[in-house]
Structure 1
């Protein structure tokens, strides 16, 4: 009879749980609240699990609500077909209006805008 001897391998023990201070957690959550921030990238930079950072956001987000710092809420908007405006547009101070829809961008500069052209452009940009 042949005997094959193989060494017995065991998994390495996991290290102790890391304990982060509340200040660290709040600072990490604050970094995720900046516009365009990626929770996943921030978690990698801090060497923590993304799910852990999301749970901190829930925990400290609830505290922020209790403190009266309510997050912004979305408002429903309905776009209606409106007839072309025939009344003259009141003159106003020169300014800039920038409208971005998808990859299209409309930039209006100056005090007077041709309403017929603006209506046509908006009809083409907005679905």
Structure 2
């Protein structure tokens, strides 16, 4: 009769969950918004899981693009039910942006902030 003796090992218990403040999360997300930034490298530097940082980007990403807790800026928008046949897009005066998505039309007049335009397009376009 053979007897196999194996040592019994138990896994060490996991430590307590780390809790990060919203300021820390926003700062981490802001670092990922810089051109050429690597989310995985930033996560490694901060000693957090990359998936956690991506989760924070979903939660705080729009705030970081808008400049943290900065108040939103309003943009004058006119919504038309249909595009009149007598107003071709080529006749739009300079300084006006007309975006047609399906039956909806977005018309931006005057000088438009690039950040605001980026957020609008991200929300409107699939």
Normalising by structure 2, report the TM-score. Answer: 0.50
- Deviations for 1:3-35, whole angstroms, at most 9, x for unmatched residues? 121111111111111111111101100111111
**What SS is found at the alignment partner of 1:42?**
helix
Residue matched to 2:16: 16
Query: Which protein, 1 or 2, shows the higher relative CO under an 8 Å CA cutoff with sep ≥ 6?
Result: 2
Residue matched to 2:51: 51
Looking at structure 1, the residues matched to 15 and 40 of structure 2 have their Cα atoms a distance apart, in angstroms, of 23
Superposed displacement of residue 61, structure 1: 2.2
Looking at structure 2, the residues matched to 62 and 42 of structure 1 have their Cα atoms a distance apart, in angstroms, of 19
Normalising by structure 1, report the TM-score. Answer: 0.50
**2:3 pairs with 1:3:** yes
Looking at structure 1, the residues matched to 36 and 21 of structure 2 have their Cα atoms a distance apart, in angstroms, of 26
> 4+ residue stretches of structure 1 with deviation over 2 A?
61-71
Residue matched to 1:61: 61
**What SS is found at the alignment partner of 1:28?**
helix
If you compute each CA radius of gyration, which structure gives the higher value, 1 or 2? 1
